Amino acid sequence: MASISQSPRSFVSGRHRAASRPSLPVVYASSLGGQLHCLRLGPRGSSRIGLPLRRVVVYATTTDVHKKRQAPVARDRGFVDEMRAVAMRLHTRDQAKEGEKEADAPPVAKWEPSVERYLRFLVDSKLVYDTLETIVQEAAYPCYAELRNTGLERSEKLAKDLEWFRDQGHTIPEPSSPGVSYASYLEGLAKKDPQAFICHFFNIYFGHAAGGRRIGSKVAEKILDNKELEFYKWDGDLSQVLQNVQDKLNRVTCSWSREEKDHCLEETRKSFQYSGDILSLILSS
């Protein structure tokens, strides 16, 4: 309710200067149903509601009747939103409402993983993350240096998980073809094609923070007694970490030409193919 009262200079009280001007009531108003309704206090404290007011100067503090609304300022969302939109279309409909891809594997809820197959996935994933972190540390292009120490790094987390499996008596396998192929591809790409590399960087890290967590949760439920691996933990607020990295990526790509941006987007399908090959290790026999 917005309070509307007499101004000391606009209204004259009943006791002060009463002979020169009649007293005016104290008024309170509220906006109900889009109309201004008033409560007028009479001479003896009686009240009347909804009566129109005349010859009264009113001052509104915060009423939507008088306050002009301002249109929200649109935020420049940057190139990351374009990368995200292309990536979402490459999901299946059960993975994302924007998905356009036909499902070629059962949904995660119907997976029947084993510890051995899951370990192959984790080992190959670690090789890819090791490669990504090495690339940005060596920084063949200056823009890669912007992507160091983002908080999304996974190599150290995966090393802890593999050590835990080893302590449980499991044998840790060597990296297999899907992981080796992807790591080799990223190494070559990073030296000659920064736009394409940035596409893979975005899809690997952001994809794991979204769909990867759901997969990890389902697998843990079926074979790890709901143990949450370090691979699926981040230090601090993940949403803020992702926002910070998104801002960095937008800065890195803001000077790209339209042709360079389109070239980056065209690499999305290939990033999904390589990541999909590694993910399929959980399902393969």
The answer to whether residues 206 and 96 belong to one domain is yes
* 23 belongs to a structural domain: yes
pLDDT > 70: percent of the chain = 68
What is the per-residue pLDDT across 136-195, written as a single tens digit (0 to 9) for each? 999 999 999 999 999 999 999 999 999 999 999 999 999 999 999 999 999 999 999 999
Phi and psi of 243, rounded to 5°?
Answer: -65, -40
Look at the alpha carbons of 207, 213, 214, 215 in this order and tell me if their dihedral is positive or negative. Answer: positive
The answer to whether residues 16 and 86 belong to one domain is no
The answer to whether residues 130 and 219 belong to one domain is yes
* 74 belongs to a structural domain: no
* 56 belongs to a structural domain: yes
The answer to whether residues 63 and 145 belong to one domain is no
The answer to whether residues 266 and 170 belong to one domain is yes
The answer to whether residues 86 and 149 belong to one domain is yes
What is the per-residue pLDDT across 219-265, written as a single tens digit (0 to 9) for each? 999 999 999 999 999 999 999 999 999 999 999 999 999 999 999 99
The answer to whether residues 101 and 59 belong to one domain is no
Q: Which residue, 41, 67, 93, sits at the end of a domain?
A: 67
- Pair of tokens at residue 264: 């980056």
pLDDT of residue 20: 46
* 149 belongs to a structural domain: yes
Q: Who's near 274: CB < 8 A, 6+ residues apart?
A: 178, 181, 182, 185, 200
pLDDT of residue 102: 64
- CA distances for 278 relative to 79, 123, 131, 179, 250, angstroms: 27, 10, 15, 6, 28
Sorting pLDDT into bands at 50, 70 and 90, what band is 109?
Answer: confident
The answer to whether residues 121 and 2 belong to one domain is no
* 221 belongs to a structural domain: yes
Cα end-to-end distance, the chain, whole Å: 67
Question: Into how many domains does the chain fold?
Answer: 2
* 13 belongs to a structural domain: yes
The answer to whether residues 215 and 85 belong to one domain is yes
The answer to whether residues 273 and 142 belong to one domain is yes
The answer to whether residues 56 and 149 belong to one domain is no
Q: Which residue, 67, 90, 120, sits at the end of a domain?
A: 67
Q: What is the pTM of this model?
A: 0.72
What is the per-residue pLDDT across 8-50, written as a single tens digit (0 to 9) for each? 444 334 444 444 444 444 444 444 444 444 444 444 444 444 4
**Domain of 6, in residue numbers:** 1-67
* 72 belongs to a structural domain: no
pLDDT of residue 99: 55
Three-state DSSP string of the chain: CCCCCCCCCCCCCCCCCCCCCCCCCCEEEEEECCEEEEEEECCCCCEEECCCCCCCCCCCCCCCCCCCCCCCCCCCCCHHHHHHHHHHHCCECCCCCCCCECCCCCCHHHCCCCHHHHHHHHHHHHHHHHHHHHHHHHCCCHHHHCCCCCCCCCHHHHHHHHHHHHHCCCCCCCCCHHHHHHHHHHHHHHHHCHHHHHHHHHHHHHHHHHHHHHHHHHHHHHHCCCCCCHHHCCCCCHHHHHHHHHHHHHHHHCCCCHHHHHHHHHCHHHHHHHHHHHHHHHCCC
The answer to whether residues 62 and 94 belong to one domain is no
pLDDT of residue 95: 56
Q: Which residue, 35, 67, 99, sits at the end of a domain?
A: 67
Look at the alpha carbons of 269, 271, 277, 281 in this order and tell me if their dihedral is positive or negative. Answer: negative
In 3D, which of 4, 56, 58, 57 has the Cα closest to residue 30?
A: 4
Q: Which of 33-47, 100-114, 208-222 has the highest mean pLDDT?
A: 208-222
Phi and psi of 33, rounded to 5°?
Answer: 65, 25
* 231 belongs to a structural domain: yes
Q: Which of 40-49, 95-104, 254-263, 271-280 has the lowest mean pLDDT?
A: 40-49
Q: Give the Cα separation of 75 and 241 in Å (integer).
A: 19
Q: Which amino acid is at 92?
A: T
What CATH number does residue 144 fall under? 1.20.910.10
